[in-house]
Structure 1
Amino acid sequence: MKRFPIAGMLAGLLCVAACPVARAADNSVVEQRAVTFNHAQTNYMLHCGGCHGTLGLSPPHSVPLLRGQAGWLVCDPQGRAYVDGLPNVTRASLSDADLADVLNFVIFTLGASPGSAHAAPFTAREVSAMRAAPESTVPLHLRRQQAVERIIKVCGAPKSLLDYKPM
């Protein structure tokens, strides 16, 4: 058995006791100011934020911008059906309830717009039904264009929603 000098052990203990990193109380101010996410926001970050951006601001032409725009999609049944049929939405590895919460966060918080003001929130039952329905044979970019053109006409959505053009 190896023996350590008592002086060395005491010096080590004093260093640990005096070291600010080792004391939890030194982090309390930082922890109080730390950003915290609810369950839906955490799931958004894990399942959507990598492509759509943590704030819903994605690089041009990669995926549609969500921030301040996604809410327009639920002002009309065709736009809502577009959201319901997005492959990465229907195939997300989340429960129906968790996916409904993420959709509600995206539509009513992150992407809130006048178009979402009177829309009903997504429910686990609706998510379950959309997952059971077969996917459309219409290419995704055409479904988006049709939905956006309709919500511009029917809901008064801004024409800037047409700015997204996949490369």
Structure 2
Amino acid sequence: MNLLDPVPTPQQLFRWLDSGRITREEFREAMSVHARELIQEMEQAHANPLVAKFNELMNRREAWKWARKHGEPLIREILFALMDEERFIPAKWLWNAAHPHVPLHCFFRTRGTPLMRFIEMNAQPQSVTLTIEHGGTETLPPVREQFFLRRDRSARLFIHRRELL
């Protein structure tokens, strides 16, 4: 693993460790980057508790809206499929989306930067079309992408293709 490359998602790191592609030390080093990002977010929330609470409420509202319309299991399944998508920056926050004990709102970021929110979704039994807005910084606008997901033979959703909008 090259330190100049972007840090892989936690899920990729777990797979690499299990397959022997990286050592335990390399795994710890890469996971520490993710841990530092989480600690930074917690420090920002502690410094601005009102903004953090407002953001949490908006994220809860977003999660509730999509779960009410399509069901929480499908939303988690979609997030889990997005987690494996290469070059999808928000994947690093989705690695435990399949775990029902982690609240669904934790995976949405409707305010501030970087964003990660659903814009539009059309769900059929064998496919899902999803428009997502994600990323962005103080100077760059967020990216809108459309994802086309399909079910494989074992009925799991996977990303069939994606397009920038």
Higher RCO (CA-CA < 8 Å; seq separation 6+): 1
TM-score by shorter chain over 0.5:
no
Q: What is the TM-score when the length of structure 2 is the normalising length?
A: 0.22
* Structure with max Cα Rg: 1
Q: What is the TM-score when the length of structure 1 is the normalising length?
A: 0.22
Q: Greater share of helix residues, 1 or 2?
A: 1
